[in-house]
Copies of this chain bind each other. A is one copy, B any other.
Amino acid sequence: MKALTSIEHSLAMAVSAGEGPEGPPKLADAVRHAVFPGGARIRPRVCLAVAAACGNDDAQLADATATAIELLHCASLVHDDLPCFDDAQTRRGRASVQYAYGQSLAVLAGDALIVLAFRTLAAGAAKSPLRLPALITMIAQSAGTPTGAVAGQAWESEQRVRLADYQRAKTGALFSASSMGGAQAAGVDPEPWRAFGDWLGEAYQAADDIRDVVGDPRVLGKPVGRDVALLRPSAAAQLGLQGAVTYFDTLVAKAIEAIPNCPGAAGLRALVDSESERLVPRESLEASLRSAA
């Protein structure tokens, strides 16, 4: 599995490519603020782990794919934090982009990151240009409309929403993109890798719902209780906390089962295992369940 420092290096190179002395400096600062310091970088780690499991014959394209997906994820966070959505003042333990730089630069930083994601993909395709069209198509579907991350956020503007549709688009799409993109970058048919990313995305969303209820905002780096405050659909709200935890465990097991037979399967299982503990901190969870009992 690719070390986290390598992912940070690739992100730094990609962000630098969008900077220059001739550009507006505040926007460059806002874009950096949106990307660094990052969170767990789970999407690029999944992407690179899948690429490695698939043989990873083009490390440059795998890096570019992982980086592009993380940039798209950062873009979605910046726009989700805008006053017209979550109105979040904090993100990853410090000021959100909109709070630090204002709405205008937050809108533009998100736009810049979306564009930069596709530029990064194109720049990484020097060795395997024939893989680029299908890779861009898949990532654009996962990021955009009708079933990607942008569409997922737009479900919050609808009167009737099915929880599964909302979560699959808002969170699941970039997870399945991470899994499928890792395979595609390695020249492998991505379709068998869709289910792994789908289950992982659902598990991640369930974990997020749980942490929104029980998490410590100093650890999460963002306000807790937002889903309830914003009347958003949530597994924890629908199933109760204990039910949501059982649901999470089921989803993690499904993700592990869905890993296609390949040389790197063991490494992937280990990644999912370690992530599941990180995502749902059992200690604070058990304290919450005790106090609720």
Which A residues contact B (CB, under 8 angstroms)?
18-20, 22-28, 31, 75, 79, 82, 84-85, 102-105, 107-108, 110-112, 114-116, 118-119, 121-123, 125-126, 129-130, 132-134, 136-137, 140-141, 143-148, 150-151, 153-158, 165
7 nearest A-B residue pairs (beta carbon)? A23-B146, A115-B144, A119-B140, A27-B154, A122-B136, A20-B146, A84-B103
Contact of A126 among B24, B123, B133 (CB under 8 A): B133
- Asked, given contacts A116-B145, A132-B122, A145-B27, whether A111 binds B19 with beta carbons under 8 Å apart, the answer is no
Whether the pair B158, A25 counts as a contact (CB closer than 8 A) is yes
Q: B115 touching A150 by the CB < 8 A rule? A: yes
Report Cα–Cα, A108/B125, bound state, in Å: 28
Contact of A140 among B122, B125, B150, B157 (CB under 8 A): B122
In angstroms, Cα B119 to Cα A147, docked, is: 14
Residue numbers in B under 8 Å from A147 (CB-CB): 20, 22-23
How many whole Å from A60's CB to the nearest CB in chain B?
12
CB nearest neighbor in B for A148: B115
Interface secondary structure of A, over-half rule: helix
Could you show 17 A-B contacts with beta carbons less than 8 Å apart?
A18-B145, A18-B146, A20-B147, A24-B151, A102-B157, A111-B111, A112-B145, A114-B114, A115-B144, A116-B144, A119-B136, A121-B136, A122-B133, A122-B137, A125-B132, A125-B133, A132-B132
A24 partner residues in chain B, CB cutoff 8 A: 146, 151, 154-155, 157-158
Which partner residue on chain B sits nearest A19 by CB separation? B146
Checking B20, B118, B137, B151 against A27 with a beta-carbon cut-off of 8 angstroms, the contacting residue is: B151
Q: B129 to A133, Cβ gap below 8 A?
A: yes
Chain B positions within 8 Å of A123 at CB level: 133, 137
Q: Knowing A84-B104, A145-B28, A150-B27 touch, does A136 contact B133 (C-beta < 8 A)?
A: no
Chain B residues lying within 8 Å of A165, measured Cβ to Cβ, are 22
Q: Are A140 and B111 in contact (CB under 8 A)?
A: no
Knowing A24-B155, A129-B133, A133-B122, the reply to whether A145 touches B19 (Cβ < 8 A) is yes
Give the complex CA separation of A129 and B129 in angstroms.
7
Complex: A76 Cα to B22 Cα, angstroms:
20
* Chain B nearest CB, measured from A85 CB (Å): 6
Is the CB–CB distance between B129 and A130 below 8 Å? yes
User: How far does the Cβ of A44 sit from chain B's closest Cβ, in whole Å?
Assistant: 19
The closest CB in chain B to the CB of A103 belongs to B84
**Residue with the highest number of chain B CB atoms closer than 10 Å, among A28, A75, A129, A141:** A129
Which among A103, A105, A140, A153 has the highest number of chain B CB atoms within 10 Å? Answer: A140
